[in-house]
A and B are shown apart, each in its own frame.
Chain A
């Protein structure tokens, strides 16, 4: 009894760390561990409700899985849940640079949705396409909506829960000059 509770405490304190059995080995390119936790799958009924709620507008459903979040989709190959607070560390260690001009965007670049007041990262996705149609720039993004499934959507067509956000783009790509 006594030890069981201590085990719980150790899990609490090291949550998401190397001692947490629910996490996987994941590091930045500078070998800093990225805390993470694998999540259980939600029931088909629950995912169906999510689909009913989100599959509208420009959104095209890609997948209905709930075992990872948007950060896990972009930075961990859809294998685990990573808190958005880890993103700045990943971007820094993996030497991402901000793409300031939308004209320079390439498929595969990362898009961050930030709260303009707090700076908190509300959502993250991957740029799928960036093209000009009828003199209008159209950017399509692939992202996992929380644990509610993956969607391909227009850049600004994200759920209201993320609030008013500013978008920032980052790229790890290197080009010969």
Chain B
């Protein structure tokens, strides 16, 4: 692993962590956090393995006690808890998103990413709260969907501006 790859992955991980603190309130009550946005941009810009590592680092930071999960929470309890699935599913999601992005299908990729996160997340929500999967989808997905589409849109705008910069810099290396 080159030094450059190393620092890029590390900085993406800290961007995900830093943007988790970034919260925009919405009229329908569920705040939009920057965490998913940063994960999306990571997936769009880095290679599949690198994006996977960036998210892995972010989750490890949370496990070893840094308040980087939404609501400044941390610890393995969050991952095992009702909302844990929405966090560790980023791992698979971001890998697949990046695969799609490299094949020039970023839109399909981010939809698949969103689907994976909600399937895994709602599955855990359903199990841990002993409710049905449909009910979990209703409370764990519907309120968040509008915000997610906004985030996908934003991540595209940002990634588009960053790609040229990325290319010139990596050519220099």
Partners in one complex: no
Interface of A toward B, CB cutoff 8 Å: none
